[in-house]
């Protein structure tokens, strides 16, 4: 009898211990559930794993679209909390973005998405199969684009990049300074040289320009000397009007056209000279409007074509086009854990609504839809493109980047007389 009582007591004790353990396990489970973040719960609810994507663009530095683009990414992440986006954008100035992209792709560290130059700069990446053919990429939406999409078509017949906007370059002039000094805004080469002479007699710098970061200066002086027919030449052609254009930069430097320290200034510094109204003119692109708006001086500025005096063209011809686009890396597209998120983000960024939101920051011609209620100065730029008898890409988008870098960095040597335009072009061609 006594043994039966002991057995019953042991049984009841075991049952009690089992019940206590079960309750403890349940409470622990509840505590873990209570500690989960809303994002975790949402991800478990939709069954999607967390994904991290890296995006590289040129929308950084002084580009007004940078802030807008970051907001676009923040909004997207808020709607898709399982996706984390690292914005690794770099300035397009001084070749920073080119160096980054080349480094990333050569080290097997390519970004999932990039907004980059779809020019000779991307040839190596495309030829190596590092980016996808968007027309054959499942899920990618290329509907709604205007003719800028076709401009992205590669020589192999495929489209690897989707455009965001087009651009134009020209001579930006401060109308107020011209009016205050009773100087005529130039429409001919002779008037351009006269404006240089007249402003050089004042405390106003005629042209805000760097002779080492001389991208736009080199292009426009070559265009002026030869017109579009000669401007479109290859470097190997050794076109004499290109050399003439480079020598004209030296001629105008001696006339006092540029800042005294032009050989040590970078693009941001000369932009500041113009925005501070210390200079009357500057060679820039349509993206520059955003900075002018921020500086509160856009309404005092207009953009005109570089006066052409060469027999191979006419004034009104401009540098422009659509040379940047959104690429998807092959590595990310082939990664099943990332493909859905990559394609969805690509379609979101290139949708008409979001594309127009980004483009509105700079006022450039959009690749989808239309910007409305344009200020007069932005509308004038769009008219510049519409009225242009010819438009062609920048020289640095058409020749070996190292060759163009050599040309622009040799401009100070041309200015100080140690080299000629012809000599520099021959040396640059030897690099190709």
What pLDDT is recorded for position 1?
Answer: 46
Whether residue 28 is predicted with pLDDT greater than 50 in this model: the reply is: no
Q: Which residue has the tokens 């005294």?
A: 260
Of the listed ranges 89-93, 195-199, 334-338, 388-392, the one predicted with least confidence: 89-93
Q: What is the pLDDT of residue 26?
A: 46
Residue 9 scores a pLDDT above 80:
no
Pairwise CA distance, residues 40 & 247, whole Å: 64
CA-wise closest residue to 281 among 176, 163, 394: 176
CA distance 428 to 432: 7
42-71: pLDDT as tens digits: 444 456 899 999 999 999 987 889 999 999
Place of tokens 């941001």: 268
Q: What average pLDDT score do residues 222-227 get?
A: 97
Residues 6+ apart with CB under 8 A from 272: none
Asked if 366 and 165 count as a contact pair (C-beta separation under 8 A), the reply is yes
* Mean pLDDT of the region 289-294: 91
- Give the model's confidence band at 35: pLDDT under 50 very low, under 70 low, under 90 confident, else very high: very low
Average predicted confidence (pLDDT) for the chain: 89
Tens digits of residue pLDDT in 81-127: 999 999 999 887 657 888 899 999 999 999 999 999 999 899 999 99
Q: What is the pLDDT of residue 47?
A: 64
Please count the other Cβ atoms lying within 10 Å of the Cβ belonging to residue 367. Answer: 27
CA-CA distance, 63 to 66, in Å (whole number)? Answer: 6
Does 320 have pLDDT greater than 90? yes
Residues 324-353 pLDDT 10s: 999 999 999 999 999 999 999 999 999 999
Q: pTM of the prediction?
A: 0.75
Q: What is the pLDDT of residue 93?
A: 67
- Cβ atoms of 212 and 279 within 8 Å: the answer is no
Cβ count near 427 (within 10 Å): 14
DSSP string, 269-332: HHHHHHHTTSEEEEEEEGGGHHHHHHTT-GGGEEEEPPP--STT--BTBEEEE--EEEEEBHHH
Residue 38 pLDDT > 60, yes or no? no
């Amino acid at each position: 009898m006594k043994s039966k009582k002991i057995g019953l007591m042991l049984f009841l004790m075991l049952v009690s211990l089992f019940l206590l353990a079960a309750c403890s396990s349940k409470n622990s489970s509840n505590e873990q559930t209570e500690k989960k973040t809303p994002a975790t719960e949402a991800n478990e609810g939709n069954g999607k794993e967390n994904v991290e994507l890296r995006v590289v663009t040129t929308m950084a530095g002084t580009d007004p679209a940078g802030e807008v683009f970051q907001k676009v990414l923040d909004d997207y992440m808020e709607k898709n909390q399982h996706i984390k986006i690292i914005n690794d954008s770099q300035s397009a100035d001084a070749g920073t973005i080119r160096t980054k992209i080349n480094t990333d792709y050569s080290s097997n560290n390519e970004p999932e998405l990039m907004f980059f130059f779809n020019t000779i700069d991307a040839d190596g990446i495309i030829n190596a199969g590092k980016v996808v053919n968007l027309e054959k990429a499942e899920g990618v939406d290329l509907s709604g684009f205007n003719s800028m999409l076709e401009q992205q078509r590669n020589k192999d017949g495929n489209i690897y990049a989707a455009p965001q906007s087009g651009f134009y370059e020209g001579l930006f002039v401060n109308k107020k300074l011209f009016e205050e000094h009773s100087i005529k805004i130039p429409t001919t080469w002779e008037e351009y040289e006269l404006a240089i002479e007249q402003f050089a007699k004042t405390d106003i710098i005629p042209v805000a320009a760097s002779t080492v970061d001389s991208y736009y200066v080199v292009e426009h002086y070559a265009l002026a000397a030869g017109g579009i027919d000669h401007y479109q030449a290859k470097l190997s052609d050794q076109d004499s009007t290109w050399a003439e254009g480079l020598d004209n930069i030296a001629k105008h430097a001696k006339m006092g056209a540029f800042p005294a320290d032009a050989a040590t200034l970078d693009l941001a510094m000369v932009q500041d000279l113009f925005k501070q109204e210390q200079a009357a003119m500057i060679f820039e692109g349509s993206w520059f409007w955003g900075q002018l708006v921020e500086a509160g001086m856009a309404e005092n500025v207009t953009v005109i074509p570089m006066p052409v005096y060469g027999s191979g063209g006419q004034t009104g011809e401009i540098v422009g086009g659509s040379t940047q686009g959104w690429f998807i890396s092959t590595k990310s597209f082939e990664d099943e854990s990332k493909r859905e998120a990559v394609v969805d983000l690509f379609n979101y960024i290139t949708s008409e609504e979001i594309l127009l939101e980004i483009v509105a920051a700079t006022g450039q011609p959009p690749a989808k839809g239309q910007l409305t209620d344009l200020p007069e100065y932005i509308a004038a730029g769009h008219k510049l493109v519409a009225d242009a008898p010819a438009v062609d890409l920048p020289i640095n988008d058409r020749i070996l980047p190292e060759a163009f870098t050599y040309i622009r960095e040799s401009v100070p040597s041309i200015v100080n007389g140690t080299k000629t335009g012809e000599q520099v072009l021959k040396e640059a061609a030897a690099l190709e």
